[in-house]
Amino acid sequence: NAGVTQNPKFQVLKTGQSMTLQCAQDMNHNSMYWYRQDPGMGLRLIYYSASEGTTDKGEVPNGYNVSRLNKREFSLRLESAAPSQTSVYFCASSEEPDSYNEQFFGPGTRLTVL
């Protein structure tokens, strides 16, 4: 039982390049989330998927797209990377999108955009 896994762990991009961050969970959770963590800012929600087949914008969605490929997988795509997207990205999942269920976090992807 691996929990939430993310790939890659580290990535360096040049401005304008594209990439997809992968996330998968093996806990049969319905809801999945993408956050970014910047120094002194806490974590901010980029996109979330309350259930398979649905996605919605969070607090900072500009410059990102997501795909809920199936119940297990939720990917985050940067179409044209910018230095402002240098951050640590965390994927999370929860059984249901409500206030009672714990969110489980992956180990993170550290992205640098030059």
Partner 1 sequence: GNSVTQMEGPVTLSEEAFLTINCTYTATGYPSLFWYVQYPGEGLQLLLKATKADDKGSNKGFEATYRKETTSFHLEKGSVQVSDSAVYFCALIRGSTLGRLYFGRGTQLTVWP
Which residues are at the interface with partner 1 (CB under 8 A)? 4, 31, 33, 35, 40-45, 48, 50, 56, 58, 90, 92, 94, 96-108
Minimum Å gap between C-beta 6 and partner 1 is 8
Specify the residue, 14 or 40, whose C-beta has the smaller distance to partner 1. Answer: 40
- The three-state secondary structure class of 83 is helix
Q: For residues 14 and 39, which CB has a smaller minimum distance to partner 1 in the complex?
A: 39
What is the C-alpha to C-alpha distance for residues 93 and 113, in angstroms, rounded to an integer?
Answer: 26
Closer to partner 1 by Cβ: residue 17 or 50: 50
Closest of 58, 64, 93, 60 to residue 78, by C-alpha: 64
Strand 64-68 and strand 74-78: the pairing is antiparallel
